[in-house]
Structure 1
Amino acid sequence: MRNLILQVIDFFHRPFARLIPLQTFRYLACGGGNTALDIVLYFIMYNFVLHKQMVHLPFVTITPHIAALFMSLAITFPTGFLLSKYVVFSESNLRGRTQLFRYFMLVSACILLNYVFMKLFVEHLHIYPTISKILTTFFVVCFSYLTQKKFTFKVKPEKLKLF
Protein backbone atom coordinates (compact mmCIF):
# COMPACT_ATOMS: atom_id res chain seq x y z
CA MET A 1 0.00 0.00 0.00
CA ARG A 2 2.86 2.37 0.91
CA ASN A 3 4.51 1.87 -2.50
CA LEU A 4 1.26 2.53 -4.35
CA ILE A 5 0.65 5.75 -2.39
CA LEU A 6 4.24 6.87 -3.05
CA GLN A 7 3.96 6.11 -6.78
CA VAL A 8 0.76 8.14 -7.11
CA ILE A 9 2.02 11.11 -5.09
CA ASP A 10 5.43 11.11 -6.79
CA PHE A 11 3.78 10.97 -10.24
CA PHE A 12 1.79 14.12 -9.49
CA HIS A 13 4.88 15.79 -8.01
CA ARG A 14 6.77 15.77 -11.33
CA PRO A 15 5.24 18.99 -12.73
CA PHE A 16 5.92 20.76 -9.42
CA ALA A 17 9.42 19.34 -8.81
CA ARG A 18 11.14 22.68 -9.39
CA LEU A 19 8.75 24.52 -7.07
CA ILE A 20 8.15 22.14 -4.15
CA PRO A 21 10.54 19.64 -2.57
CA LEU A 22 9.30 16.05 -2.72
CA GLN A 23 8.87 15.68 1.05
CA THR A 24 6.83 18.89 1.26
CA PHE A 25 4.65 17.74 -1.63
CA ARG A 26 4.12 14.38 0.04
CA TYR A 27 3.18 16.15 3.26
CA LEU A 28 0.67 18.37 1.45
CA ALA A 29 -0.83 15.41 -0.43
CA CYS A 30 -1.13 13.16 2.63
CA GLY A 31 -2.30 15.96 4.90
CA GLY A 32 -4.76 17.22 2.30
CA GLY A 33 -6.13 13.73 1.75
CA ASN A 34 -6.45 13.12 5.47
CA THR A 35 -8.16 16.49 5.93
CA ALA A 36 -10.63 15.67 3.14
CA LEU A 37 -11.30 12.30 4.79
CA ASP A 38 -11.88 14.11 8.09
CA ILE A 39 -14.43 16.47 6.54
CA VAL A 40 -16.31 13.65 4.80
CA LEU A 41 -16.35 11.53 7.96
CA TYR A 42 -17.50 14.50 10.04
CA PHE A 43 -20.38 15.12 7.61
CA ILE A 44 -21.42 11.46 7.66
CA MET A 45 -21.16 11.15 11.45
CA TYR A 46 -23.04 14.38 12.11
CA ASN A 47 -25.83 13.89 9.58
CA PHE A 48 -26.31 10.13 9.19
CA VAL A 49 -24.88 8.46 12.30
CA LEU A 50 -25.87 10.96 14.98
CA HIS A 51 -28.78 12.46 13.00
CA LYS A 52 -27.86 15.87 14.50
CA GLN A 53 -28.98 14.59 17.92
CA MET A 54 -27.34 15.05 21.31
CA VAL A 55 -25.24 12.13 22.57
CA HIS A 56 -26.27 11.15 26.09
CA LEU A 57 -23.57 9.37 28.06
CA PRO A 58 -23.90 8.28 31.71
CA PHE A 59 -22.25 11.41 33.14
CA VAL A 60 -22.34 13.95 30.34
CA THR A 61 -24.31 14.98 27.27
CA ILE A 62 -22.31 15.90 24.17
CA THR A 63 -23.54 18.12 21.36
CA PRO A 64 -23.68 16.39 17.98
CA HIS A 65 -21.10 18.64 16.33
CA ILE A 66 -18.54 17.89 19.06
CA ALA A 67 -19.35 14.16 19.11
CA ALA A 68 -18.91 14.02 15.31
CA LEU A 69 -15.58 15.81 15.70
CA PHE A 70 -14.29 13.13 18.08
CA MET A 71 -15.73 10.32 15.97
CA SER A 72 -13.96 11.52 12.82
CA LEU A 73 -10.78 12.18 14.81
CA ALA A 74 -10.82 8.55 15.98
CA ILE A 75 -10.25 7.56 12.35
CA THR A 76 -8.15 10.42 10.97
CA PHE A 77 -5.70 10.51 13.89
CA PRO A 78 -4.32 7.03 13.13
CA THR A 79 -4.46 7.51 9.35
CA GLY A 80 -2.62 10.83 9.66
CA PHE A 81 0.02 9.27 11.89
CA LEU A 82 0.53 6.28 9.59
CA LEU A 83 0.77 8.45 6.47
CA SER A 84 3.28 10.73 8.17
CA LYS A 85 5.32 7.84 9.55
CA TYR A 86 5.45 5.63 6.47
CA VAL A 87 4.97 7.99 3.53
CA VAL A 88 6.17 11.49 4.41
CA PHE A 89 8.82 11.05 7.10
CA SER A 90 9.84 7.41 6.59
CA GLU A 91 13.53 8.16 7.15
CA SER A 92 12.93 8.91 10.84
CA ASN A 93 14.79 6.55 13.14
CA LEU A 94 12.92 7.37 16.34
CA ARG A 95 11.00 4.59 18.07
CA GLY A 96 7.39 4.21 16.93
CA ARG A 97 5.90 4.86 20.36
CA THR A 98 8.00 8.03 20.69
CA GLN A 99 6.70 9.19 17.32
CA LEU A 100 3.11 8.35 18.30
CA PHE A 101 3.34 10.26 21.59
CA ARG A 102 4.90 13.26 19.86
CA TYR A 103 2.27 13.11 17.12
CA PHE A 104 -0.47 13.12 19.76
CA MET A 105 1.13 16.20 21.39
CA LEU A 106 1.36 17.88 17.98
CA VAL A 107 -2.30 17.19 17.11
CA SER A 108 -3.33 18.55 20.52
CA ALA A 109 -1.24 21.69 19.93
CA CYS A 110 -2.79 22.11 16.46
CA ILE A 111 -6.30 21.90 17.89
CA LEU A 112 -5.37 24.55 20.46
CA LEU A 113 -3.74 26.76 17.80
CA ASN A 114 -6.85 26.51 15.61
CA TYR A 115 -9.00 27.64 18.53
CA VAL A 116 -6.66 30.51 19.55
CA PHE A 117 -6.15 31.82 16.00
CA MET A 118 -9.86 31.68 15.20
CA LYS A 119 -10.71 33.56 18.40
CA LEU A 120 -8.00 36.13 17.67
CA PHE A 121 -8.84 36.69 14.01
CA VAL A 122 -12.64 36.68 14.29
CA GLU A 123 -13.36 38.17 17.72
CA HIS A 124 -10.44 40.54 18.23
CA LEU A 125 -9.23 41.50 14.75
CA HIS A 126 -12.75 41.30 13.23
CA ILE A 127 -11.66 39.36 10.16
CA TYR A 128 -14.39 37.39 8.36
CA PRO A 129 -14.59 33.78 9.60
CA THR A 130 -13.80 32.19 6.23
CA ILE A 131 -10.73 34.37 5.73
CA SER A 132 -9.78 33.67 9.35
CA LYS A 133 -10.03 29.93 8.74
CA ILE A 134 -7.79 30.20 5.68
CA LEU A 135 -5.18 32.20 7.61
CA THR A 136 -5.41 29.83 10.55
CA THR A 137 -5.01 26.79 8.33
CA PHE A 138 -1.93 28.29 6.69
CA PHE A 139 -0.23 28.98 10.05
CA VAL A 140 -1.22 25.63 11.57
CA VAL A 141 -0.11 23.62 8.51
CA CYS A 142 3.29 25.38 8.50
CA PHE A 143 3.68 24.78 12.24
CA SER A 144 2.62 21.14 11.85
CA TYR A 145 5.02 20.45 8.98
CA LEU A 146 8.01 21.98 10.73
CA THR A 147 7.18 20.28 14.03
CA GLN A 148 6.76 16.88 12.39
CA LYS A 149 9.99 17.26 10.43
CA LYS A 150 12.13 18.60 13.27
CA PHE A 151 10.54 16.90 16.30
CA THR A 152 7.92 14.19 15.81
CA PHE A 153 9.67 12.29 13.00
CA LYS A 154 13.19 13.72 13.20
CA VAL A 155 16.22 11.70 12.21
CA LYS A 156 18.65 11.20 15.06
CA PRO A 157 22.30 11.15 14.04
CA GLU A 158 23.83 7.69 14.26
CA LYS A 159 26.30 7.15 17.09
CA LEU A 160 29.82 6.43 16.00
CA LYS A 161 31.07 2.96 16.77
CA LEU A 162 34.79 2.89 17.42
CA PHE A 163 35.18 -0.89 17.51
Structure 2
Amino acid sequence: MRRLAEGITRTIDLFYVRPVAAVVPRQVFRYAACGGANIVVGWVLYYLIYHLLLEQRPVDVGPLVVSAHVAAMLLCFPATFLLGFWLNRRVAFSASALPSGVQLLRYGLSVAGSVGVNYVCLKAFVDGCGFWATPSQMLAMGVTTVYSFLAAKYFTFRA
Protein backbone atom coordinates (compact mmCIF):
# COMPACT_ATOMS: atom_id res chain seq x y z
CA MET A 1 0.00 0.00 0.00
CA ARG A 2 2.89 2.32 0.71
CA ARG A 3 4.20 1.91 -2.86
CA LEU A 4 0.75 2.62 -4.28
CA ALA A 5 0.48 5.80 -2.22
CA GLU A 6 3.95 6.90 -3.31
CA GLY A 7 3.04 6.25 -6.95
CA ILE A 8 -0.16 8.26 -6.62
CA THR A 9 1.75 11.09 -4.94
CA ARG A 10 4.40 11.13 -7.69
CA THR A 11 1.68 11.13 -10.36
CA ILE A 12 -0.14 14.05 -8.74
CA ASP A 13 3.13 15.94 -8.35
CA LEU A 14 3.77 15.62 -12.11
CA PHE A 15 0.93 18.10 -12.58
CA TYR A 16 2.14 20.46 -9.86
CA VAL A 17 3.76 22.94 -12.24
CA ARG A 18 3.64 26.66 -12.94
CA PRO A 19 1.42 28.64 -12.82
CA VAL A 20 -0.44 26.47 -10.28
CA ALA A 21 2.67 25.81 -8.19
CA ALA A 22 3.25 29.54 -7.82
CA VAL A 23 -0.08 30.13 -6.07
CA VAL A 24 -1.28 26.81 -4.61
CA PRO A 25 0.66 25.06 -1.83
CA ARG A 26 1.63 21.45 -2.66
CA GLN A 27 -0.49 20.01 0.16
CA VAL A 28 -3.58 21.88 -1.04
CA PHE A 29 -2.94 20.65 -4.59
CA ARG A 30 -2.62 17.04 -3.42
CA TYR A 31 -5.76 17.41 -1.29
CA ALA A 32 -7.70 18.77 -4.29
CA ALA A 33 -6.45 15.97 -6.54
CA CYS A 34 -7.40 13.30 -4.00
CA GLY A 35 -10.81 14.86 -3.40
CA GLY A 36 -11.45 15.20 -7.13
CA ALA A 37 -10.50 11.58 -7.73
CA ASN A 38 -12.75 10.45 -4.89
CA ILE A 39 -15.65 12.43 -6.33
CA VAL A 40 -15.21 10.85 -9.76
CA VAL A 41 -15.00 7.36 -8.23
CA GLY A 42 -18.20 8.15 -6.30
CA TRP A 43 -20.00 9.26 -9.46
CA VAL A 44 -18.98 6.13 -11.35
CA LEU A 45 -19.85 3.85 -8.44
CA TYR A 46 -23.21 5.58 -7.98
CA TYR A 47 -24.01 5.17 -11.68
CA LEU A 48 -23.09 1.49 -11.66
CA ILE A 49 -25.04 0.72 -8.49
CA TYR A 50 -28.09 2.76 -9.51
CA HIS A 51 -28.33 1.46 -13.08
CA LEU A 52 -26.81 -2.02 -12.98
CA LEU A 53 -27.18 -3.34 -9.44
CA LEU A 54 -30.48 -1.75 -8.41
CA GLU A 55 -31.81 -1.30 -11.96
CA GLN A 56 -33.44 1.94 -10.79
CA ARG A 57 -35.84 0.01 -8.56
CA PRO A 58 -36.60 0.77 -4.90
CA VAL A 59 -35.08 -1.49 -2.26
CA ASP A 60 -37.47 -3.20 0.16
CA VAL A 61 -35.83 -3.69 3.56
CA GLY A 62 -38.65 -5.05 5.67
CA PRO A 63 -40.87 -2.26 6.97
CA LEU A 64 -39.00 0.35 4.95
CA VAL A 65 -38.81 0.94 1.20
CA VAL A 66 -35.78 2.96 0.12
CA SER A 67 -35.84 4.72 -3.23
CA ALA A 68 -33.20 3.58 -5.71
CA HIS A 69 -31.36 6.91 -5.77
CA VAL A 70 -31.10 7.04 -1.96
CA ALA A 71 -30.12 3.35 -1.76
CA ALA A 72 -27.39 3.93 -4.34
CA MET A 73 -26.07 6.87 -2.32
CA LEU A 74 -26.08 4.79 0.87
CA LEU A 75 -24.28 1.91 -0.85
CA CYS A 76 -21.64 4.27 -2.32
CA PHE A 77 -20.91 6.06 0.93
CA PRO A 78 -18.74 3.41 2.64
CA ALA A 79 -16.51 3.05 -0.43
CA THR A 80 -16.00 6.78 -0.96
CA PHE A 81 -15.59 7.34 2.79
CA LEU A 82 -12.82 4.72 3.05
CA LEU A 83 -11.16 5.77 -0.22
CA GLY A 84 -11.23 9.41 0.85
CA PHE A 85 -9.73 8.52 4.21
CA TRP A 86 -6.97 6.42 2.64
CA LEU A 87 -6.07 9.07 0.04
CA ASN A 88 -5.99 11.83 2.63
CA ARG A 89 -4.00 9.76 5.11
CA ARG A 90 -1.46 8.38 2.63
CA VAL A 91 -1.19 11.15 0.02
CA ALA A 92 -2.42 14.58 1.11
CA PHE A 93 -1.51 14.41 4.81
CA SER A 94 1.12 11.67 4.93
CA ALA A 95 3.26 13.54 7.50
CA SER A 96 0.75 12.99 10.29
CA ALA A 97 2.02 10.67 13.03
CA LEU A 98 -1.36 10.16 14.68
CA PRO A 99 -2.48 6.51 14.94
CA SER A 100 -4.74 5.42 12.08
CA GLY A 101 -7.65 4.61 14.42
CA VAL A 102 -7.60 8.16 15.81
CA GLN A 103 -7.39 9.54 12.29
CA LEU A 104 -10.33 7.39 11.15
CA LEU A 105 -12.51 8.52 14.06
CA ARG A 106 -11.60 12.14 13.43
CA TYR A 107 -12.19 11.71 9.71
CA GLY A 108 -15.67 10.40 10.46
CA LEU A 109 -16.34 13.44 12.64
CA SER A 110 -15.05 15.81 9.97
CA VAL A 111 -17.20 14.12 7.29
CA ALA A 112 -20.23 14.49 9.58
CA GLY A 113 -19.26 18.14 10.01
CA SER A 114 -19.01 18.53 6.23
CA VAL A 115 -22.52 17.15 5.82
CA GLY A 116 -23.71 19.64 8.45
CA VAL A 117 -21.92 22.59 6.82
CA ASN A 118 -23.33 21.61 3.43
CA TYR A 119 -26.85 21.38 4.87
CA VAL A 120 -26.63 24.74 6.65
CA CYS A 121 -25.24 26.43 3.54
CA LEU A 122 -27.97 24.96 1.34
CA LYS A 123 -30.68 26.08 3.74
CA ALA A 124 -29.14 29.56 3.94
CA PHE A 125 -28.63 29.98 0.19
CA VAL A 126 -31.93 28.46 -0.98
CA ASP A 127 -34.34 29.30 1.84
CA GLY A 128 -32.63 32.38 3.26
CA CYS A 129 -31.32 34.10 0.13
CA GLY A 130 -33.73 32.67 -2.44
CA PHE A 131 -30.97 31.33 -4.73
CA TRP A 132 -31.64 28.47 -7.12
CA ALA A 133 -30.82 25.01 -5.77
CA THR A 134 -28.05 24.01 -8.20
CA PRO A 135 -25.95 27.19 -7.87
CA SER A 136 -26.58 27.01 -4.12
CA GLN A 137 -25.17 23.47 -4.02
CA MET A 138 -22.11 24.67 -5.94
CA LEU A 139 -21.55 27.48 -3.44
CA ALA A 140 -22.18 25.11 -0.55
CA MET A 141 -19.62 22.66 -1.95
CA GLY A 142 -17.07 25.48 -2.10
CA VAL A 143 -17.65 26.39 1.56
CA THR A 144 -17.69 22.72 2.55
CA THR A 145 -14.42 22.05 0.73
CA VAL A 146 -12.67 24.85 2.61
CA TYR A 147 -14.08 23.55 5.91
CA SER A 148 -13.08 20.00 5.03
CA PHE A 149 -9.49 20.96 4.18
CA LEU A 150 -9.08 22.96 7.39
CA ALA A 151 -10.59 20.13 9.46
CA ALA A 152 -8.27 17.62 7.81
CA LYS A 153 -5.17 19.75 8.21
CA TYR A 154 -5.70 20.98 11.77
CA PHE A 155 -7.78 18.17 13.29
CA THR A 156 -8.00 14.84 11.47
CA PHE A 157 -4.43 14.51 10.15
CA ARG A 158 -2.66 17.07 12.34
CA ALA A 159 1.11 16.60 11.94
TM-score range, shorter chain: over 0.9
- Aligned AA (1:64): A
Match of 2:136 among 124, 132, 146: 132
Match of residue 118 from structure 2: 114
Return the offset for 1:116.
2.3
Instruction: Work out which of the two has the higher radius of gyration on C-alpha atoms and give 1 or 2.
Output: 1
Cα deviation, 1:15-70, whole Å, max 9, x if unaligned, reads 22111000000000000110111112112211221112111112322111111111
Unaligned runs of 5+ in 2: none
Ranges of 4+ aligned residues in structure 1 off by more than 2 Å? none
Give the one of 2, 6, 18 matched to 1:3: 6
Cα separation, 2, equivalents of 1:72 and 1:56? 18
> Matches of 1:118 and 1:103 in 2, distance apart?
22
> Which of 16, 20, 23 matches 1:13?
16
Shift of residue 112 of structure 1?
2.2
Q: Take 2:75 and 2:116, find their aligned partners in 1: how far apart are those partners?
A: 18
Q: Aligned residues: percent identity?
A: 35
> SS state of the match for residue 76, structure 1?
helix
| Cα drift, residue 98 of structure 1 | 0.5
Alignment of 1:50-129 (within 5 A): 50-129=54-133
Q: Give TM-score, length-normalised by structure 2.
A: 0.93
Q: Distance in 2 between matches of 1:118 and 1:48?
A: 31
Structure-2 separation of matches of 1:140 and 1:93: 25
Q: Distance in 2 between matches of 1:7 and 1:95?
A: 24
Alignment root-mean-square deviation, CA: 1.1
Aligned length: 155
Q: Hey, what's the Cα distance between the residues in 2 that align with 1:112 and 1:45?
A: 25
Deviations 1:62-101 (A, max 9, x none): 1111111111112111100000000000111111100000
Distance 2:127 2:68 in 1: 24
